[in-house]
Every structure is written in C-alpha cells, then in structure tokens.
Amino acid sequence: MSLTGNISGGRRALLSSRSGILRGSRLLVSLAVTMLGLLLITFLIGRVMPIDPVLAVVGERATNEVYEATRKAMGLDDPLIIQFFNYITEVIRGDFGTSLLTSRPVIDDIARVFPATLELATVATFIGVLIGVPAGVIAAVHQGRWPDHVVRLLGLFGYSMPVFWLGLMGLLIFYGKLDWVAGPGRLDVFYEDIVPQVTSVILIDSLLAGDFEVFGNALAHIILPASVLGYYSLAYVSRMTRSFMLEQLAQEYVTTARVKGLSEARVIWRHALGNVMVPLITVIALSYANLLEGSVLTEIVFAWPGIGFYITNALLSADMAAVLGGTVVVGTVFIGLNLLSDVLYRFVDPRARQGG
Amino acid sequence: MTKFTSAFAAGMLAVVTMTSTAALSATPKDTLVVATTIDDIVSLDPAEAFEFSGGDLLQNTYDHLIEFDPKNLSAGYQPGLAASWTVSEDGKTFTLTMRDGVKFQSGNPFTAEDAEFSLRRAVLLQKTPSFILTQFGFTKDNIEDTIKATDAKTLVIKTDKTYAQSFVLNCLSATIGSIVDKKTAMAHEKDGDMGYEWLKTNTAGSGAYSLKSWKPNESYVLEANENYWRAKPAMKRVFVRHIAESASQRLQLEKGDVDVARNLTPEDIAAISGNADLAVDEDLRGRIVYMSLNQKKAPLNDPKVIEAFKWAVDYKGMTETILRGQYTVHEAFLPLTYLGELKDKPYKLDIAKAKALLAEAGHADDISIKINVRNEPTYMAMAQAIQGTLTQAGMKVELTPMTGKQSLGEYRARQHDVYLGAWGPDYPDPHTNADTFAHNPNNSDEAKLTGKLAWRNAWDIPEMTKETEAAVQEADTAKRAEMYRAIQREHQKTSPFVIMFQKIEQTGRRKNVQGLVTGSAISSVYYWTVTK
C-alpha cells in the first residue's frame, strides 16, 4: 500500500511546490483517517469484549459500593460514543490516559516498553537480513543443488518451529550449558539503572555513556532473543529473496551481462540483486513491522519487557487506555515504515526517482 | 561471495566471544535476587493493594500496629508498631500504645498521629480492601471519634459492637493496616487525595526496606532500611524480577543468576531436586480451591444433586498427578493453620454413590452443565479431571475457559452454572472465609452482596448466617474455634461448595540462602530474615 501516490512527470517542474504541499496534506489526512479508524475499531472491540474493566481495578472482593463508585470514576457510565469522543479529545491534547494495571500514564509506559521492543526487533532484523538475503541469493544461484536444499530446509524449519520451544532450547543450550550468552531480561540486575536513559535503547544509551561493560552485558542479553526472532525473519527474507532472484536470473539482461564478460559475482550481486532490492525492501519492512508489534511468546520466555506483553496483558484485563495507546504506537510504526519504504524505493529505483 | 561470507562469520564470532565473557555466575553476598511474577500489582497504596505480589512488596516496606513474627508464624499476632494494648471491659474500646524510637524511611519519627492517619485514610478512600476496617462500624462520618490519637503515643479505636479481640487485632495486621508516614504522604497530596496518586507508585513506610524502583511487569528493587527497628537486614538490596516462564526461572536458578525462584512447575521442581546447590521449600498457603453450584439453577439446588457432586471428584487422584506438590486435599472452608481449622475429609471419589444420589433425585442422566474456569493450565487440568469424573457419574459437562476477569463478571452477576476457582483469605482471622462462604444476610438480587461467595451462588442460609455472626463476637478463643468447626461440619454436609484443595507453595532457592519466609497461610514474604 503506497500512501504517497504518484506525480505526473510532465507537470512536475511547474507544479512541484504546489504538489508537494498537496501531497503533504493528503498524507496527513490519510494518516489521521487511518489512525482514527484504527482507534475506533480497537475501542469498539475493547467495549464488546466480555471483560469488565472495573473488575480489573477493584478485584474479586469489591463490594458493590466500591464497584459502582469506581465505575463512575472511570467514566464508564457515559454512552459509548461519548466515551470515544472524550478519549479522542484527550489524545489530541497529548493525554493517552492512565493505565489501570500500572497506575502510570500510558505514554510513560510506552516510552518504557517500546524501546525494548525496538531494540530487539532491530537487532533481529539485522540478523535476518544479513543472513537471509545472501542465503536467498546463494539458493537461487545454485537452484536445485545442495546449497538450495539447505537454505530451503532451514527456512522451512524456521517457519514451522514454535518460537516458544526454540527460545527455551536456545536458553538451555547457549545460556544453560555453553554459557555463551546471558539469561532472560535486558540486563543483569546489577547493571540496571547505571547508564542514564536517553533513548531507553540500552545498546545506544550505554555507548552514549561510554560504558562498555553495560553495553557488553546488554549485548549478551539481546543476542539470543534477537537470534530467535531473527531466525523467523531470516526464513521469510531468504525465501522471498530466492524467488525474486530466480525471476531476475532468467532475464535477458543477465545473459547480456555474462556475454559482455562481467564477472559472475558482479552479475549476481550487483545487477541481479540490485533489481531485486525494490520488492525486497517491502518484504523487509513488513517483517520489521511485524517484529515491532512485539512477540509475546518471545517476550515471556526471555522476560523481555516489550510492547507485545504490555498490550496483551492490558487486553486481557480490559485496560483500554493502555491497549489504545499501544495501538497508536503499532499503527504509527506501520504507517511510518510504509513511508520509509516509499522513500527507499526512490533511492534504489531510478524509475521512481524520475517519477515514472 | 566468499569474502562476504568469511567477513560475516568473523563478525558473528566476534559477537559471540564478546558476549560469552559477560555472563555472571553468583549474586553478591548482601544481595538477594528473586524470580517471580509481579504482573498482578495494580497499586502500591496500602489502602488499595490487594494482590499477592503487591502484598509481598508492602509487607517488606511497611509495618503494622499488629504483626506476626516471621520466625514463629504459628504464635499468632504479636505487638508491632503498637508495643502493647488494653481492651475495655465491654470489648469495644482498644487503647494501643505506640512503640518508641521507630523512624520512617524518610527519617520522620513514628507517632500515633501516623497510625490515626493511616487507618482513617484507608476508610475514607473506600478502596476494595476497606471493608476489612469498615466491618467494625467505621464510617467517614464517625471516624473522628472511632479512630483517634489521644496523644503522640496513644491510639484509641472504638468498634460498633463487641467482637472477638483476636478478630480486631488480626485485621489490623492485614496490608490495609500498614502504617503510612503522614508527613511524606501529605507532602504529595493532590486535590485532597491524602497522597493516594503518589502512593500508588511509591512507598512511605517504616518497614525493613524502601522501594528504590518499580518497573511494572519488569522488576522492582528494595533497599535495606538501616534504621529498621527489628534488626539490620542482612540483604542490603533485594531485586525482584518478573519472569513468567517456569523453565526460564529454573535455568536462572541453576546458573546462580537468581537466588530464589517462586513459580516453578512440578516438572521443574522435580528436575532441580537432585541438584546439590539447590533446595526446595514447601509452605502451606491460604488459598482454597473449590467448585460451587449456582442455587438459582435447578436441579443444582437439589440437596441430593449437590451431594452427588461431592462424591464425583477425584480429590486424591488429582493431588497425586496434575497437582503434585502444589495442592493438598482439604475439604473445609478455613485453611489449615487457621483458628478453627477442620481436618475432616468426609468425601472421596465414589462414582457409584454419586450415580445413586442422582438417580434418587430423579436426574440420573439429564443434568447438563457448564463449568466456568480460568484459562490457566492448572485450573484447566483440574477442570478436565472433574469433567471426566462427573461424566462418569452421568452428567453432561461442558468447560467454559475464561480469563480471570471475564469469569468473575459472570460469577458476580450470578449467571454461572458451576464455577471452579480459588479463594484466598484477606486477613489472618477465620472470619475472613466464614464471612464469604457461610454468611449471606440477604439473598435477593438487589442486595448485590457481590463480595460474598454464598450470595454469588444464591445460597440462602439464615441459620448459618446467625451462627457466623455469633462466632465472630465470641470472646473465648477456644469456644470460638469450636463454633467455626461446627459451622464447617454443617457446611460440608449442606453447602453448594465442593471444597477440594489447599495451596502448597514450592520455592526453589540456592542452598546458601537461609531464613526466607514465604508467609504461610496468614502472611506474605519476608526478606529481612534472609541471610546468605
């Protein structure tokens, strides 16, 4: 889905500034409509769920008086549409409300849990791309021979293995037996709160503070969960790369390049892969966006305090302020990555640069 | 291509080598690291906190006027911040003398004014656990007279009726009786909330530890209070980490990255039992598991059908298989170790008897029910076992798995057929469970006594309600205990509650960790007693 739209080539020069503004405002409107729709649907789902948000606060023992007083204080007596309107008004003011479960502003909670997910998803995507793309290329080049079989088998394995099991096995072997990596959590307890929080992404914060011990510990903690998640991303990316490459390698320009006497490596890695980059960027962006939603199971196994666990926990307790806040973040991430891949298209695809 | 691959391999190797040196082995000698679940903490305000993990945290950060000795829990209530007390002849006025020389973590000295403030605000804030205090007749209109500091050392409490002395004092030892530092709380007051918003995420007590940080669903850190009046805690810092997965907890315990693991499954407990560096402690907790029949739904209100249910449960079989080590068979509503505990187990699995009772009732094969159950592995396993035996007895049973919050909504609205769930006592006095299992002064829908299990199951018991009320007012402790035993015997015979199990908590710890008390049935975890 492209949100930016195309610009007509001939009138581009003449209308460039006007169309820029137009495009910008169109983008903003479609962004606002998407977010509003997303919030409305989430809000309605939250209200039809057979979970009572008041009970989430007052607990099993509450007398009816306490229950009613709390219900009123939470604004749940108002009609649905008023509740939604009130919520949106607050959001526009920048107030996402207070989470029932953590007693804190949702915005603070998200500022705490999202960087954890961002950090994990980014490292995982790096692993997935750095291994997945070359693996896909190799498989395509050696189609039908053993490197292809190995890559496809690994991909299949990655698809079909439950993440929960893979995570536990990883912990058992690399943490329990071999001692190569650190255990669950983002840091050993003794390293917590040592470096000042700037981005809340520990790998970056520790580098900013110049504290390599904390950096090393954070890396030791992230490498395993990121590898587990990265494996899934790898399985997807390598499979897609392989099929894109197969298509390109059958094209005439590849034969031409070979006839011209270019080295095989240049033909494959430069010409063919170069042309695969456009669809591949979409694939990678999608897989990254998926990881940024947070992977609940991975987060549970690795005690990783990310947004997946946060939203799931909130949903099960009907903590709607938290669920809606999380939805806004996930929605923004999706839209943002979409825009980013559009921008990257222009960068890698000359046709898009020329507006064709 | 080869260049790329080798560069990549070298890079990965570098990462692995770098990280492999970073893993730590054992925790420092003055530090305790605990792996547990803390995602149920909703609020840290003692006037509101009512969950297990919240109770654990507050137990270590606050003191109470009346407390238990963690080294001898069975001795019952003891002087806490109240060094002594007297009770008037009519049993309605309690005069408590405050302990000298106690300071809050802020450095403010503790006085009777703090005690007055803490108990009054718990009543005024009207949060869920407030009933523990308001059941003595305290209201926002009379509180100026009923809870009063007459001088810096004396607090006078006046109840509306005569209650057993032990009942009043036991209630003061509950989390809601935590004594808050008035000056600190009021310094953070907003719109007359008595510091509520601030105390939801901070602590202001005189306990053995102060809260250094709390990251919801992630961890909290406690720091020793060097001025603690009982002792200097040996553990200077306690790190409590949220680790939901039992296998992850076990791995960290085995590696020595954590000292204590509190949520190990029977499989993981069995797996570590041969490890010479580790030990497993068992502690009988207060939680009771029961199944209850909604008396609004015929034929579940037929006494013979009710009795049939009680014979159609494999109590012993479950504790030997799916609940191994986690629960013990217990068939009365007061947890073992409580005053008035009853050890009788009149029921066991007897399908033939259950069938005969159903036939006598004229419902040999036409009963079709839904059991509402929490969608958690242990409860689901119990529900499936029960479904099996009830089916053998001739019933059609459907399980409805629900989230905890979801099943509760239906239960409180009296819409369920059969509910399978648990009840944990709210304070260490028999009345806590008698009040919910055997007390229902008004069975009408309008009464909405949603806090009482007897009401939720529409069980109309005017006689037993009177007996329960009499027991809570009985001054003679031995007689009081006997009254509870009589109520429980009757309850076992006639109630629509099939009480099945009591919780055993299994805690895995490193062998060098000594003195950890998880609180038994009456209290929560204590960290100041721990040494390494």
Q: So where are chain A's domains?
A: 15-92, 109-353
Q: Is the pLDDT of residue B477 over 60?
A: yes
pLDDT attached to residue B9: 45
- Which of A99, A265, A316 comes nearest B1 by C-beta? A265
Closest-CA residue of B relative to A106 is: B216
What predicted TM-score, i.e. pTM, was given to this entire model? 0.84
Are the Cβ atoms of B19 and A220 closer than 8 angstroms?
yes
**Residue B210 belongs to a domain:** no
- Write out chain B residues lying below 8 Å of A101, CB-based: 39, 42, 216
From B150, B183, B202, the end of a domain falls on B202
Q: How far apart are CA B129 and CA B427, in angstroms?
A: 10
Are the Cβ atoms of A175 and B251 closer than 8 angstroms?
yes
- Write out chain A residues lying below 8 Å of B248, CB-based: 168, 171, 183-184, 301-303
Pair B253, B261: CB distance under 8 Å: yes
Mean pLDDT of the A29-51 span = 80
What percentage of chain B exceeds 90 in pLDDT? Answer: 79
A–B CB contacts, 8 A cutoff, strictly below: 176
Does residue B191 sit in the same domain as residue B304? no
Are the Cβ atoms of A303 and B241 closer than 8 angstroms?
yes
Are the Cβ atoms of B126 and A69 closer than 8 angstroms?
yes
From B145, B168, B202, the end of a domain falls on B202
pLDDT attached to residue B386: 96
Does residue B308 sit in the same domain as residue B166? no
Does residue B69 sit in the same domain as residue B191? yes
**Residue B439 belongs to a domain:** yes
pLDDT band at A335 (very low <50, low <70, confident <90, very high): confident
Pair A342, A3: CB distance under 8 Å: yes
**CATH number of the structural domain spanning residue B366:** 3.10.105.10
Determine contact: B377 vs chain A, CB below 8 A.
no
Does residue B196 sit in the same domain as residue B298? no
Does residue B435 sit in the same domain as residue B336? yes
Q: Is the pLDDT of residue A213 over 70?
A: yes
pLDDT attached to residue A291: 87
pLDDT band at A354 (very low <50, low <70, confident <90, very high): low
Q: Which of B27, B26, B53 is nearest to B40 (CA)?
A: B53
Find residue A192's DSSP bridge partners: none
Q: How far apart are CA A22 and CA A241, in angstroms?
A: 36
Are the Cβ atoms of A64 and B219 closer than 8 angstroms?
no
- How near does any CA of chain A get to the CA of B88, in Å? 31
Q: How far apart are CA B441 and CA B444, in angstroms?
A: 9
Would you give the distance in Å from CA A25 to the centre of its chain? 26
Mean pLDDT of the B58-81 span = 93
Cα dihedral sign, A183-A185-A190-A192: positive
**Residue B110 belongs to a domain:** yes
Give the total number of structural domains in chain B.
Answer: 2
Q: What are residue B253's phi and psi, to 5 degrees?
A: -65, -45
Q: Which residues contact B59 (CB under 8 A, 6 or more apart)?
A: B175, B207, B519, B523, B524, B525, B526
Determine contact: B191 vs chain A, CB below 8 A.
no
**Residue B41 belongs to a domain:** no
Q: How far is CA B1 from CA A137, A248, B35, B384, in A?
A: 10, 18, 46, 57
pLDDT attached to residue B275: 93
Pair B318, B531: CB distance under 8 Å: no
What is residue B75's DSSP assignment? G
pLDDT band at A42 (very low <50, low <70, confident <90, very high): confident
Pair A251, A271: CB distance under 8 Å: no
The token pair at B399 is 């399980």
- Write out chain B residues lying below 8 Å of A215, CB-based: none
Mutation for testing the A interface, residue in B3, B133, B211, B217 having most A CBs under 10 Å? B217
Q: How far apart are CA B453 and CA B324, in angstroms?
A: 27
Least confident of A10-24, A324-338, B237-251: A10-24
| CATH level 2 (architecture), domain A109-353 | Orthogonal Bundle (1.10)
Q: Which residues contact A76 (CB under 8 A, 6 or more apart)?
A: A53, A54, A83
Cα dihedral sign, B220-B224-B229-B230: positive
Reply yes or no: is the peptide bond before residue A53 cis, omega within 30 of 0.
no
* Amino acid letter, B511: K
Among A7-21, B72-86, B487-501, the range of highest mean pLDDT: B487-501
On whether ipTM exceeds 0.85, the answer is: no
**Residue B418 belongs to a domain:** yes
- Write out chain A residues lying below 8 Å of B239, CB-based: 189, 192
What long-range pairs does B408-413 form, CB within 8 A, spacing at least 24?
A: B408/A52, B408/A55, B408/A60, B409/A50, B409/A51, B409/A52, B409/A55, B410/B372, B411/B372, B411/B456, B412/A55, B412/B450, B412/B456
Which region holds residue A40: left if phi is over 0, alpha if psi is between -120 and 50, else beta?
Answer: alpha
- Write out chain B residues lying below 8 Å of A219, CB-based: 15, 18-19, 22
Mean pLDDT of the B189-195 span = 93
What percentage of chain A exceeds 70 in pLDDT? Answer: 92
pLDDT attached to residue B163: 93
Determine contact: B97 vs chain A, CB below 8 A.
no
Mutation for testing the B interface, residue in A47, A55, A57, A61 having most B CBs under 10 Å? A61
Q: Is the pLDDT of residue B258 over 90?
A: yes
Are the Cβ atoms of A176 and B218 closer than 8 angstroms?
no
- Write out chain A residues lying below 8 Å of B131, CB-based: 61, 63
From B181, B202, B223, the end of a domain falls on B202
Q: How far apart are CA A157 and CA A233, in angstroms?
A: 12
pLDDT attached to residue B311: 97
Least confident of A52-56, A106-110, A185-189: A52-56
Does residue B353 sit in the same domain as residue B480? yes
Q: Which of B76, B79, B55, B75 is nearest to B66 (CA)?
A: B79
Host domain of residue B156 = 63-202
Determine contact: B52 vs chain A, CB below 8 A.
no
Q: Is the pLDDT of residue A60 over 80?
A: no
Would you give the distance in Å from CA A115 to the centre of its chain? 11
pLDDT band at A103 (very low <50, low <70, confident <90, very high): confident
**Residue B165 belongs to a domain:** yes
User: pLDDT tens for residues A180-192?
Assistant: 999 888 988 888 8
Find residue A265's DSSP bridge partners: none
Does residue B189 sit in the same domain as residue B305? no
Q: Which residues contact A193 (CB under 8 A, 6 or more apart)?
A: B213
Determine contact: B445 vs chain A, CB below 8 A.
no
**Residue B521 belongs to a domain:** no
Residue ranges with strand state E in B306-436: 327-329, 368-374, 396-402, 418-423
